[in-house]
Structure 1
């Protein structure tokens, strides 16, 4: 039995983020790739008023574009996770950036709502770029630095949407005219295309001499026990439910952009896809019912299910709150729209520090204890936000939102400090499923918001956080080693402590 190290550089050294050598160089190049995914994915948001005017969009059509922009990301994260595990993060990230630039150009050239809608729907795929870097970073950093490295990757990469909100209107003004927004969107596509080449030529999947472990079979996630097989099928249901919910929002019961016929056609298609996935999952995992793997090669899918629930509450609520917070401040404190947007941006700006901090604390004090503190803080934070009203001083409301956002984003960072420690060869798929649950959470919370008051909306998230805390009690602290089989048949042990 052999043991291998999965990092470049000296394990005894502290993590120097100011370096641009070895594994830290790979980290910087990878978070920048993710940054560009979000920069490109949300490029329409700060330009939406100009886009709506140029294409003569109705309010319902604008809402539809916003929904379509996130619809494909849920299945895309699962697909990209599988491709990453099979083909490696270097190739997958490079191809995703290159292919993802194409809908940018289509959207920039759109002359009507249908063309714009198709482009925004396809853009959802680039939002799945997040899961690729999770696997890349896990290949280059030891367990003792992994939470911090994943936190930096997620937090700094997520900031791409905020930078886009600042820069893209300026680029549109620079080009000027009614087509300024088209040039700005086109520029994001050009940048993504150029960086796809830079990234491919600048990184490798693993440090020199290390082995990149691939799944034995592709098409569905591997599990290692009969009980885990049924739990996997159960955990797939909310993802299909979220897509059905998006279809409902486009149906006559929602914004009315889909007819009754097409709504039911989508419901039927989702049911068929779930049955097909069930069949594929069975074909890949049926051996566990007759001859389960040796204990050393097993992993507990329960860990994945718990992380899914935690990311639903953390990143799911983050996406939902970022979407509604400007309007909340605008209506609660009767601010002008620009000031409301600036005040609300404080929530997302916290990502630069909060997510890396969550990972760093996990490395230092343990994955489970830190998650318990952060999830409890998240529940209290949203409970506090549910009490915000017009009688509050604005500075106190902003302080409450920022305090809440710290726990939300640090919690998301702490979740992905655990994800790469479940099963190395399946890291992309685990990250894909957990990441998808973040989008599922966003769809759920935004649907709740459309039905209730702001105060109730925040209370629902707080309640979800309390439920997540209870589920978190079942999480097992990663310890010991993960076992993977080398090409020569020997067993490699990867430290997860």
Structure 2
């Protein structure tokens, strides 16, 4: 069979999935252009709007983990379609909301649509051969994330077209309608794999399973920041005096209880699993997942955090107008259209491990340089440094995900969910750092994280190119055999 011919539908799948993610991001950030309008009409405070912005990100963290499980079990076509259709409901509720609690609850639920990212990652990994996967996923993520910029540019115009004080409601409701319609289109047009290929499903939706005891410990440690990231979100709300201290303590307790409970279940389930004869084809490295998760924490997480603080930083540092600072800040996001696909292409062309290491090293240097920015710098040089930091960081994000689908095919959704969640966790943690320290410290912390990731990337195993198969498991199998206790009757 000529595989080149069997992939003739890959461009259509890439277009369908990229548009799906584009629509998801547009819906996810459809509130941003109307913050001041909503404050004025509904009599909200700046802190209350800030809470709406924070909860809009909150459920994207656990949502990516959950959607990763679903996509591995039921396939990306069904999961992506259902997610778009269901998330149109809280979008409509937000559009017609008249009380703060209606806005808060609908916005909290709507944040789940940010989990759509991991669904498309699994879809593209099924349709593209290894030598093109990085570039295709870079296009998917880079162009899909542009949905937030389109929302910022076009939704105010749509609101003006409808006119009146309810113009913003019509504009936001329109994005929900687009998501609803596109969910049906995606279900009709997309398919999980080419016709000649069988979709490898996860055997259960109980979460990731470790294939050695050392990997089990690492999985439990890697899961901790997911709950910790939600805790930092709660702390941010408490720190702004929006969330009562007593309520915050209760939420901290709930998060701690959930982590302990889920880790006990994880330990029990995996202990039984490790006593079985795990097939060699099922073995994968949790170390790979952990390193890539932290790398995405330091690249995409930093990108989100920097985009959030950059306008005010340039306005204060160089005494620019709000418009001028906004233009510079927007350039940081626009480079995603080119930089993220470029990172995937470089990984396909020159090696995934080598590309990621190079980009992480350069990124650490650039963020250290950003920490020295001051009003004495020529503004042009500051913009060049900022653009360079943006390009390298987003290319590194593309390089990270060029490797995700090669760790274990049947668990791609779960692994992508874990790695993707770390991007959101990174943004929350870096912004919390900014709230505590000066911007110079903020940039130094990001630079240090990138440097630690660079050192950690020496331990990444380069994916093997073997036709259109996944990573060779021979090396992992040999390592796993050494790690298993002798009393478990383990055959690898």
The TM-score by the shorter chain falls in which range? over 0.9
CA distance in 1, matches of 2:471, 2:189: 27
Question: Which of the two has greater helix per residue?
Answer: 2
User: Which residue of the partner structure matches residue 286 of structure 2?
Assistant: 301
Partner of 2:240: 255
Contact 2:65-2:418 within 8 A present in 1 as well? yes
1:280-295 correspondence runs (5 A): 280-295=265-280
Whether 2:479 is the aligned partner of 1:494: answer no
| Counterpart pick for 1:276 among 231, 250, 261 | 261
**Aligned pairs (5 A) from 1:352-367:** 352-367=337-352
1:173 to 160, 166, 188: 160
TM-score (norm 2): 0.93
Matched, 1:9 2:33: no
Contact 1:224 1:292 in 2 (8 A): no
1:292 Cα deviation from its structure 2 partner: 4.7
User: Tell me, which stretches of 5 or more residues in structure 1 are unaligned?
Assistant: 12-20, 483-492
Give the one of 9, 13, 23 matched to 2:10: 23
**Structure 2 counterpart of 1:401:** 386
| Unaligned segments of structure 2, at least 5 residues | 473-492
Establish whether residue 428 from structure 1 lines up as the match of residue 413 from structure 2. Answer: yes
Correspondent of 1:417 among 398, 402, 414: 402
Q: Which residue does 2:142 correspond to in 1?
A: 155
Give the secondary structure class of the aligned counterpart of 2:459: coil
TM-score where L is the length of structure 1: 0.92
Match of 1:210, SS state, is coil
Q: What does 1:61-460 align with in structure 2 at a 5 Å threshold?
A: 61-251=48-238, 254-460=239-445
Checking the alignment, whether the CA contact within 8 Å between 1:311 and 1:435 is kept in structure 2 is: yes
Does the 8 Å contact 2:407/2:470 carry over to 1? no
* Aligned-CA RMSD value: 1.7
Cα offsets for 1:353-392 (capped at 9, x unmatched): 0000000000010000000111011111212221222222
In structure 2, distance between residues paired with 1:299 and 1:338: 49
The whole-number CA distance in structure 2 between the counterparts of 1:304 and 1:339 is: 40
Kindly provide the CA deviation profile for residues 219-272 of structure 1, in whole angstroms up to 9, marking residues without a partner as x.
111221111111100001011111111111222xx1122222211211111122
- Are the aligned partners of 1:93 and 1:132 in contact in 2 as well (CA < 8 Å)? yes
Report deviation, 1:335: 2.0
Match of 2:476 in 1: none
Contact (CA 8 Å) 1:219, 1:280: kept in 2 or not? no
Q: SS at the partner of 2:192?
A: coil
The number of equivalent residue pairs is 472
User: Which has the larger displacement, 469-478 or 353-362?
Assistant: 469-478
1:156-198 deviation line (CA, Å, top 9, x unaligned): 1111111111111111121222221111111110111111111
| TM-aligned CA deviation for residue 439 of structure 1 | 0.5
Cα–Cα, structure 1 residues 296 and 205, in superposed 2: closer, same or farther, change >3 Å?
A: closer
